[in-house]
Structure 1
Amino acid sequence: MKERINDLNEKFQEATVGEVLSWFLNEFKGKIALSSSLGAEDQVLTEMVTGIDKEATVFTLDTGRLFPETYDLIHRTNTRYGIKIKVFFPEASRVEEMVGEKGINLFYESIENRKLCCHIRKIEPLKRAFKGLDVWICGLRRDQSVTRHDMKLVEWDEANGLIKLNPLIEWTEKDVWDYINENKIPYNPLHDKGYPSIGCQPCTRAIMKGEDVRAGRWWWENPDTKECGLHKR
């Protein structure tokens, strides 16, 4: 499949998001899933994916440190689309060991600690979620951060050995919110309170007007390190 990446990018160069999703959901039926963090982009994709294939898998990672609003959105999304988002949790023993050794809020102490926490709470559950998959659908957009500027529609995820599909890669923030408003898609109310990007509660803050959309994530770090490892290239 790795050899097909360039051909797939060329094939869908002029295609709409709907055309891209329809082809991949049909071509890889049973082997493709939407990975959702319940952010605005992922809510758009949930609407689109379930509209094409109601049986398609949608999953999320519950780190144990999410906002209450995020948990509520999982319920509202399931109800709206008549689906059951699969929830993957970190291994309890790994979390207990980490917290026992380094403290409950270890991530503020160093980048190494923060990446360790992300690895245990996100990366390891993600690998379990990927079992049996050939493609994962993501809500990444090129203009979200400096770490995503050179991402493409179709990429090869070397670390996990599968195709990563970024259907909204060319969309702007305005495109996302226009679509949400036009289709009355349920979204996290924190977006209305200055949170454009929402992750774990201790590692997410509201941003000031004019700040980068990812400025509220791990705000104590340099922008070049602001990835949890899910999208490591």
Structure 2
Amino acid sequence: EAFGNAQTVRNNNSSRFGKFIKIEFSATGTIAGGNIEWYLLEKSRVHSRNANERNFHIFYQLLRSRDQTLLQSLKLSCFPEHYAYLANTRKDVEGIDDSIEFSGLLDALRTMGFTMAEEHDLFRVIALILHLGNIELTEDRSGQARITNSDQLSLVSELMGVDAAQLNTALVRPTVRAGREAVSQQRTKKQVTEEVAALCKTMYEKTFGWLVDRINLVLDRPTSKSQFIGVLDIYGFEDP
């Protein structure tokens, strides 16, 4: 739920993905395992959403972590308004304590056997998305986009483990193949903004898929495939 649910105008804990959950049984009728299949993650919520709604819970939960060492390692502050992808969203929601929810998330990850390194990698992706959203752009007279806050670019490249100059080129003037030739293409501010958003959506979706697969490694039992109860949950069917 931390990674797949969000506050909407109708529901403070709304599923933003579809899922088919199997509860698997042994031949004697006891629960033997489980499996989760997911569909249609609303990945656009990472960078845009309706007014008076929030991004996925995990973004706010991470910023409310009591572990200041973790936040410092990810170059994060505790204020959602410091991040473009969270700035125009609700910081607080009645009945939700993001700090307590984050502690519950950590307990759940450890129950599922996640290592400290795996946890940190999960949170690093969330931090990267927030930092990518804070890259600022302008255009020169020819329409070529330029990144104006080079310190932000350096921060992102450090967390990604890539060279800042190469990342800058990839974002604002990427090289593409045209037959056998490599051609450098100019990008406008609008194009770069859209490409950064697309990168963030892809990163989030891939991370979400990995998270579900990792949970299934713990839940799934190959010997219990023949007997199961399945529950389908598709978002969008909510009472007003």
Q: Same fold (TM over 0.5)?
A: no
TM-score norm. by structure 1 comes to 0.26
Which structure shows the higher strand fraction? 2
**Pair member with larger Rg:** 2
TM-score norm. by structure 2 comes to 0.26
